[in-house]
Structure 1
C-alpha cells in the first residue's frame, strides 16, 4: 500500500522518495565535466589531478554538511538561499537569491545548448533551435506536472551516468588485471607512476586546474533544494550529504585511475573525451556514440534539475517581496499539482533565449562571457552559504544534537578561505579573468543597488 503524500503548508507536496533524492544527489555530483572535461585537466596536471579532485571533494563535502545542518534544523525551506536571508539579513539574501537564480537560468541555457550539440551528432541536418525548443518543452512539462515525475526522470538520468562510469571502471580493471596490450603500451596501474611529477607542466597549470575541477562539481548543492519536497527529509538529507565524499571517490577517483591506468597520462588528448579513448582501446567501435548518448542524458539531467531549482528559487524570491507587489501576487503561488508553476514557466521562458542565440550567432560570444560571469558568481554564493551557517551556529535555531558539521571550528573557516582562494585562482586562467572581473563588478553594482533598494523599503533597517 502506497503511503499518502504529505502536503506542505504552502501547498507543495513531499512526493520525492529516498531513492529519488539519493539519485539526484549522485546526478548532481557527476556532470559532463567528468565525461568530457577530464581530458583537459589530466593533460594539464597528469595523475596530480586526483589530488585536486580529492581536495575539492573534501571541501564540497564540508560545504554540503553546513547546508545540510541548516536544512536538518528546518526542512520546510525550499532553497538554501532562504537561510542566507534569515542569518545574513534580507539585503544579502535578496542579492544572493537573484544572483543564484540568474546563474541558474544561464546554466539552463548552457545545458540546453549542449543538448542540441549532442543530438546533432546523429542528426546534423536538424536545426539547433528546434532541438532546443523540443527539449525545453519536454523538461519544463515534466517539472510542471509533479515533483515526483521530476524525481523519476532524474532517477533514470542518473542511472545512465552511473552505469557508464561503472562500465568504464570494470572494463579498466579487467584490462589492467590482464595487462592488455594497446597501441599505447600495456594497461597497468603502473602507468600512473611512470615519469610522475607533481607539476608536470608547471605550477601555473596545476593551479589553473582547480577552477576547472570546481566547475565540474558545481551543482552538487542541487540535492538540498529537493529537501522541501522529500519524504522523511531529515533522514534523507543525512544520507544524501554523508555519501557525497564516497561518491566522489568512487566515480571521479575511480574513473580517473582507470583512465590513466589504460592510457599513459602523457598520451591523453585534451580536446577529446578520455572515456571515448578508453572504450575505443577496449575494442568498442561505437564508443563515441555511446559516450555521446551518456553526455546527452547528463546535459538533459542538468537541464531538468536547473528548471526545478530555478522555479523554486524564483518562487522563494516572490515570497520575500511586499505582499501587495505584482511579483508576489503572480509568482508566489503553488499550482494544484503542488509545484510553483508560474515561477517554473517564467524561468523556463527566459531559457528560450538560447534558441534565439542559435539562430543569431553574433550573440554567442556575449552568451559565453555572461555564462562565465554567472558561473564565477557561484563561488561567492557558496561562500555566503558558509557564512550563513556560522550565523546559524550562533542563533537560537541551532540544534546541538542535530546533523552537525564535523570539526566545525577548524573546517568552517578553512572552507570559506578555500573558496576565496579558488576565486583568486581564476586570475591565473586567461579565459576566466573576464568572468572573475565581471563577478566582482556584478557584486559591487547589483549588491549596492540591492542594499539601497532594501534601505528604501525599510529605512530603519540595520541590514
Structure 2
C-alpha cells in the first residue's frame, strides 16, 4: 500500500519540455548566483576565513530542505509545488500565502538583478543609460519565456554553463597558483592564509554568524528545481538526480571556490562592494580577469531574472487554479506557457527599470533582504509540509514517496530551527530588519486580500482532491 504510485493531476496542461540535461543545469545554476560572486566580498570582510564554515553549514541545511522537497515532489510532482504542498498539509490560506510570497520573492529579485545587470554592462559601455540596458534584457528574457519552456530551459542551460565553467576555471587556476607558485600571487599564496591573520575567526564567532543572512541569500533559487516538476520529461529520474548532486555542487562551487580564493589571497585584502573573484584575479595578475568575472556575474544576474519570470508565471497559475488569483492567470498560451502570469510579473519587474533613476545604493540591499525573508518563508513551508506528510504516511493516510528523505523528519526539524535562528539574526541587524517590516505589511495585505476573496467567492481555496490514491 505504501508503494502505490502517485500520479500528477491531469489538468496541469504544461508541456513536459525540460529534459534531464536542462533540469540538471537548472539545479546547478540555482546553487550559483550573484550572492556568491558579489556578496561574498562583504561577508569575507565581516567574517574572514570562517565564512567557509558558514557556507558549509548553510549548505547542509539547504540539502535537508531539498531532500524534504524531493520526497514531496515524488509523492506528487506538480508545478507550483510549494504552494500546493502548503495548501494540502496546512490549509488553503497557507497555500495562498506561500504562492504569493514566492511570487513576491522573484519579482523583487528580478528588479534587483535587472539593475545589477545594467551596472555590469556599464563596465564595458559606461555611456549607455542603465535603464536602456535593463529594458533590453527585460524584453529579451520576456520573449524567451513566452515562446516555450524548451527555450527557457535552453537559455538557463547555457547561462548556468557559463557560471559553472567560469567557477571551475577559477578553482583550477587557484590550485595551480597554490601548487606550482606561478603568477604574482605565488610567493604569498598558502593554506596558512586561512589561519595566520588573526585566526580562522578573526572577528569572533558572533560576527561570523551574522553573515548567515547573506549566505542564505546566496542559496536562494536552489528550490527552483521543484517548480520544474510539472514540466520535467521524467520527474522520477531527473529530480532525485538533480537533488542528490546538490552536496557536491555546494562543496565545489561555494566551499571549494572560497577556500581556494582565501588561500591565494589573504582575507584582509577583500572589501565590500568588490567581487572576491575579481580581486583574486587582479592579485594573480591576469589582466582580463576583471572583465571575465564581470561577464560571469552578468550571466548570473540574467539567469536569476530568467528563472524569476519562469517561476512567477507558474505560481500565478497555481493560485488562479485554486481561486486565489484572477482566473485569467490559469489560461495557457498556444505554447503551453502561462503567458498572462508571466506578462504581469514582468510588468512589476519593470519597476526596476524605472527605479534605476531614483533608487539609492542601499535599495539593492533592501530588495535582496526582502527576497531572503520571502525565501525563508518558502523553505519553512516546505519543511513543515514534509513533517506533516511523514506523519500522514506513518498513519497510513498517504502513500510513501519513492524518494524518502534520510532520517525521516529529523533533519527537517533541524532545518526549521536553523531558519528561525537566521530570522532572529535578520531582526537583530538594523540594516536588514527593514525586510521584516515589509513582510509584515505584505502579510496584512494578503490577509485583507484573502478576506475579500472569501466574501466574493465563498469557495476560495477549495478545490477537488488531487488525482492520487489516498490510503486509508
Contact preservation (8 Å) 1:7, 1:13: no
Per the alignment, residue 383 of structure 1 pairs with 380
Contact preservation (8 Å) 2:79, 2:226: no
Q: Distance in 2 between matches of 1:83 and 1:161?
A: 31
One of 266, 269, 281 as aligned partner of 2:268: 266
Contact preservation (8 Å) 1:69, 1:405: yes
Q: Distance in 2 between matches of 1:157 and 1:148?
A: 14
Q: Distance in 2 between matches of 1:235 and 1:132?
A: 37
Q: Distance in 2 between matches of 1:432 and 1:236?
A: 37
Per the alignment, residue 414 of structure 1 pairs with 414
Q: Distance in 2 between matches of 1:459 and 1:26?
A: 40
Instruction: Within 5 Å, give how 1:47-196 maps onto structure 2.
Output: 47-180=49-182, 182=184, 185-195=187-197
Contact preservation (8 Å) 1:204, 1:428: no
Q: Distance in 1 between matches of 2:331 and 2:459?
A: 28
Per the alignment, residue 369 of structure 2 pairs with 372
Contact preservation (8 Å) 2:22, 2:154: yes
Q: Distance in 2 between matches of 1:230 and 1:459?
A: 31
Contact preservation (8 Å) 2:181, 2:187: no
Name whichever of 302-311 and 388-397 sits farther off: 388-397
One of 316, 334, 337 as aligned partner of 2:335: 337
Q: Distance in 2 between matches of 1:30 and 1:121?
A: 22
Deviation of 1:46 (Å): 1.7
Per the alignment, residue 446 of structure 1 pairs with 445
- C-alpha change, 1:414 and 1:19, in structure 2 (3 Å) is same
Per the alignment, residue 425 of structure 2 pairs with 425
Deviation of 1:401 (Å): 5.3
Q: Distance in 2 between matches of 1:119 and 1:377?
A: 28
3-state SS of the aligned residue for 1:404?
A: coil
Per the alignment, residue 235 of structure 2 pairs with 233
- C-alpha change, 1:204 and 1:336, in structure 2 (3 Å) is same
Q: Distance in 2 between matches of 1:209 and 1:461?
A: 38
Q: Distance in 2 between matches of 1:270 and 1:167?
A: 24
Deviation of 1:192 (Å): 1.6
Contact preservation (8 Å) 2:18, 2:149: yes
- C-alpha change, 1:45 and 1:151, in structure 2 (3 Å) is same
Contact preservation (8 Å) 1:20, 1:155: yes
Deviation of 1:365 (Å): 6.3
Gaps of 5+ in 2: 1-7, 463-472
Gaps of 5+ in 1: 1-5
Deviation of 1:283 (Å): 2.5
Asked if residue 436 in structure 1 is aligned to residue 436 in structure 2, the reply is: yes
Per the alignment, residue 251 of structure 1 pairs with 253
- C-alpha change, 1:453 and 1:417, in structure 2 (3 Å) is farther
Contact preservation (8 Å) 1:165, 1:251: yes
Name whichever of 313-322 and 85-94 sits farther off: 313-322
Aligned length in residues: 451
Deviation of 1:188 (Å): 1.9
| Structure-1-length-normalised TM-score | 0.91
Q: Distance in 1 between matches of 2:366 and 2:215?
A: 19
Q: Distance in 2 between matches of 1:371 and 1:30?
A: 16
3-state SS of the aligned residue for 1:38?
A: helix
CA root-mean-square deviation: 2.5
Q: Distance in 2 between matches of 1:366 and 1:261?
A: 33
Contact preservation (8 Å) 1:95, 1:450: no
One of 201, 204, 209 as aligned partner of 1:202: 204
Per the alignment, residue 470 of structure 2 pairs with none
- C-alpha change, 1:245 and 1:398, in structure 2 (3 Å) is farther
- C-alpha change, 1:401 and 1:355, in structure 2 (3 Å) is closer
Report Cα offsets for 1:83-119 as digits up to 9, x if no partner. Answer: 1111111111111111211221111111111111111
